[in-house]
Chain A
Amino acid sequence: MQQLIFGVLTLASFGFFAFNLRKIAQNIHMGLPLDRSDRKADRWRTMLLVALGQKKMFTRPIPALLHLALYASFVITQIELIEILVDGISGSHRFFQESLGGFYTFMISFIEVLSVLAFIGTVAFLARRNMLKLPRLNMKELAGWPTQDANLILVFELILISFIFTMNGADEVLQSYAGNSNGFAISSQLGPILFDGMSNHTLHILEQIGWWGHIIMVYTFMNYLPYSKHLHIFMAFPNTYYSKLEPKGQFTNMQSVTNEVKLMLDPNADPYAAPAADAVASRFGAKDVTDLSWKNLMDAYSCTECGRCTSACPANTTGKLLSPRKIMMDTRDRMVELGDYKRKNGPDTEDGKSLLGNYITEEELWACTSCNACVQECPVNIDPLSIIMDLRRFLVMEESKVPTELTGMLTNIENNGAPWQFAPTERMNWANED
């Protein structure tokens, strides 16, 4: 009976998770094509260093170490999950204990030590958010759900770890009644402190609560991820693999514009020629998530709202409206909204809303200095600047919404080849002045 419940629970959990992953993939595919299939060796290296190796986290060592405890514990605990799956399906108890012997004791001990570190890290993270009120974790774009989401994830982790020690601790005391010990590093100490003297029956129930609680929390956690900023634990890997590898200062040259400009500069071009058959009627720049590249959208799903970008942003730190983190959160929220709408009403339908306008304002976009601090800071190589620039391009080229002073600058460049009003003939005057 227990095995049946376990089997159904496992299938349902993985099924629902797969269903949500498919939605995420569909949403990312709403973005425009972008070729990131080149330089595979560099891409693997970037992923190994930045995602697996957490390279960029270590610019801030203390949170990096706490995060590393959680991360390592999460990754290593997955090994134990294999045994839980085997035990759950076969009805065995610690399937690998006998065959692996001392190595098994070492592995579970290792997991236990990491779990204690993760517990400490989680408590520290909760305190930092809610008691120390770290500025970047208490900004206005985090009000409401994002703050709850962050706390919920941390509480999930605490419960999960508590179940592990309930299970191993109760098991240890049961063993001790028979004159044995599992010999696991933490639970062989912690178990007797918590549970010594309890009856065999109570201990069995506690061990079962720990076991079932653990697996139920794992499945809950897994299925919560697609609704949470915490999805970064998976997305960090593809997102760093598909990082922009060009110099940060290099912005894309828009091919659609090149075609038009070449026509304008070509004296032999026929101005009335029909557009080429393969010409796509697209807009210049981005108004909505469907005008952004799939990588921009993957970036949005990879953001865990840590706010390092915003805390390094010169505009934000001097009180301007722009927050690169909000740009990413807006992009994700709008993508999810539009994706849900299209799944419900058909792929070619429009809901009349857009990223620019309904989520992001012109004032935010015009505060950006394109300094790349946000891009540099992001621990999972998200590029908020690319979205900001594409939205600016739409404002300028499609809507002609340019700040007045910039109109002057642009006119000067067009008329006299400099952003200021100087005649080209004066360009060499410096050589003859004192």
Chain B
Amino acid sequence: MSIQVRTMADMMAAGESPDILFWVGCAGSFDDRAKKITKALVKILNHCKVNFAVLGTEESCTGDPAKRAGNEFTFQMQALMNIELLNGYEVKKIVTACPHCFNTLKNEYPGLGGTYEVIHHTQLIQDLINTGKLTLADNGTFKGKKITFHDPCYLGRANDVYEAPRELIEKLDAALVEMKRCKTNGLCCGAGGAQMFKEAEKGNKEINIERTEDAIETSANIIATGCPFCNTMMTDGIKHFEKEEDVKVMDIAELIANAADL
């Protein structure tokens, strides 16, 4: 099935306006693994006939990694440019599959003049299922599988979203198993605070290895995430333990798209 994506510019030229903007994010746009998550989400949006648009080439980094790295100038340059663009298109509602974009757009843009209703893609999917727009096929994809959910810090602790992703996993024909550190006690994957873009400081272990051990301990077949950076870190961790055959790292959007035969 080919995907249908329109940009804000196209829509505006056609005199239309979307109900929601899909903020793809840099990882979702450029990272090969994360692009698959982007497409899984678009498939869901297409299937449910959600009237959405993306910014396309006009989108630019929210500035999150710059802000966490301590460079407030670069952050605010990005933020003010993005806000001008978003306000120009009269955007009211945004969905994103990246908790870092989610946090920044939701919490840090309002103070700079950009106030939108921002939701994480797990919240949108949950809503689509609850309103009957999306039904999961009984295709047995996850029958007998154990799935554990790794809480992204910027979704969980940072914004108190713990239940939406879990409710979605519970809708699958699979068992949700929790790691010993989960929800408010969830351990970071090691990527936040701009760590994704640098080598870790000197220590005796990589954080993603520590976290992958938590996940392996649950004997889950799938590590579900809701963040492209967590996805990278956990995938690397699984590779480190040479468990690629036994344990898959997947985004919630991919799990749902599979379960809905999309």
The chain A residues found within 8 Å of chain B, CB to CB, are 59, 246-251, 253-254, 257-258, 260-262, 264-265, 284-285, 312, 314-315, 317-322, 363, 366-373, 375-376, 389, 392-397, 402-403, 405-406, 408-410, 413-414, 417-420, 422, 424-431, 433
How many angstroms between the C-alpha atoms of A27 and B65 in the bound complex? 34
- Within B203-223, the residues touching A (CB, 8 Å) are 203-207, 209-211
Residues of A within 8 A of B60 (CB): 417-418, 424
Residues of B within 8 A of A321 (CB): 201-203
CB of B193 closer than 8 Å to a CB of A: yes
CB of B3 closer than 8 Å to a CB of A: yes
24 sample A-B contacts, Cβ–Cβ < 8 Å, listed by A number? A247-B106, A247-B159, A249-B154, A253-B112, A257-B73, A261-B73, A285-B72, A312-B185, A314-B187, A318-B206, A368-B193, A369-B193, A369-B195, A375-B157, A392-B69, A393-B71, A406-B69, A406-B198, A409-B194, A409-B198, A413-B61, A418-B29, A426-B30, A428-B57
- B54, A318: Cβ atoms under 8 Å? no
Q: B185, B187, B199: which contacts A405 (Cβ < 8 A)?
A: B199
- B70, A373: Cβ atoms under 8 Å? no
Q: When A248-B158, A418-B29 are in contact, do A314 and B70 touch as well, CB less than 8 Å?
A: no
- B108, A250: Cβ atoms under 8 Å? yes
CB of B26 closer than 8 Å to a CB of A: yes
Residues of B within 8 A of A312 (CB): 185
CB of B66 closer than 8 Å to a CB of A: yes
The chain B residues found within 8 Å of chain A, CB to CB, are 3, 5, 7, 24, 26, 28-30, 35, 38-39, 42, 54, 56-57, 59-61, 63, 65-74, 76-81, 103, 106-108, 111-112, 153-154, 157-160, 184-185, 187-188, 190-207, 209-211
Q: When A318-B210, A418-B60 are in contact, do A369 and B69 touch as well, CB less than 8 Å?
A: no
- B74, A410: Cβ atoms under 8 Å? yes
- B76, A261: Cβ atoms under 8 Å? yes
Residues of B within 8 A of A433 (CB): 35
Q: When A319-B205, A321-B202, A389-B70 are in contact, do A430 and B192 touch as well, CB less than 8 Å?
A: no
- A249, B63: Cβ atoms under 8 Å? no
Q: B66, B158, B196, B206: which contacts A249 (Cβ < 8 A)?
A: B158
How many angstroms between the C-alpha atoms of A431 and B69 in the bound complex? 30
Residues of B within 8 A of A419 (CB): 26, 61, 65, 196-197
